[in-house]
Amino acid sequence: MAPLDLLSKVISKTERVLIVGLGNILREDDGVGIYVVNGLEKRGLQNFVIDAGTAPQNYIHRIRRSSPEVIILIDAVDFRGRPGEIIFEDIYKIDEIAPSTTTHKFPIKTFAQLIRGLVGDIEIYLLGIQPRRIGYDFNLSEDIKESGDDIINSLINSFSRPFLLTKKPLEPACKRQRNKLR
């Protein structure tokens, strides 16, 4: 199954999805995760995304307070594919595809383990885009930008399908508890 089809399937199974964009917008294609999150925010999904940049560990408590059932990490990943190629995989199976995957200075598996330790047994996936170049510039390569746009459109479609219209914006667990008491 194609990566974006798998992504839609995962989103369709749950009410509480959090999308976390990773990357550095100053390093060309490394900024694709942030590009996707910004695109989703502009299209009205700001309650389902976090722009974690190069320091996702700084957002652990915000992630925990959101109590997601599924987290999708979006980042540039060198898995030796063609530039712009997309992978979608369970974070714990990613070593088979890209053994040296890190979220910059913080290993992505350590980040996932930290999230699971605080939030509980949740599904965590990596949506990776093969970069063309990672130098010092503000611009994404054209093929990377196209892949980012494909991901944005796929996520928008996944969140707007009739059976997903019931998806609720993520809110802190304490607020959900207060609402249950009312």
The tens digit of pLDDT for each residue in 100-148 reads 555 456 677 788 888 888 888 899 999 999 999 988 988 999 999 999 9
The tens digit of pLDDT for each residue in 73-86 reads 999 998 889 999 99
Give pLDDT, residue 112: 83
Q: What is the mean pLDDT of the chain?
A: 82
Closest CA to 69 of 177, 174, 167: 167
The tens digit of pLDDT for each residue in 25-38 reads 888 999 999 999 99
Domains of the chain: 3-181 (3.40.50.1450)
At residue 166, does pLDDT exceed 60?
no
Q: What percent of the chain has pLDDT over 90?
A: 43
How buried is residue 117: exposed, middle or buried, by Cβ count under 10 Å (0-12/13-18/19+)? Answer: exposed
The Cα–Cα gap between 74 and 93 comes to 15
At residue 66, does pLDDT exceed 70?
yes
Residues in Cβ contact with 143 at an 8 Å cutoff, skipping those fewer than 6 apart = 83, 84, 132
Q: How far is CA 24 from CA 18, 53, 81, 93, 104, in A?
A: 20, 6, 20, 24, 9
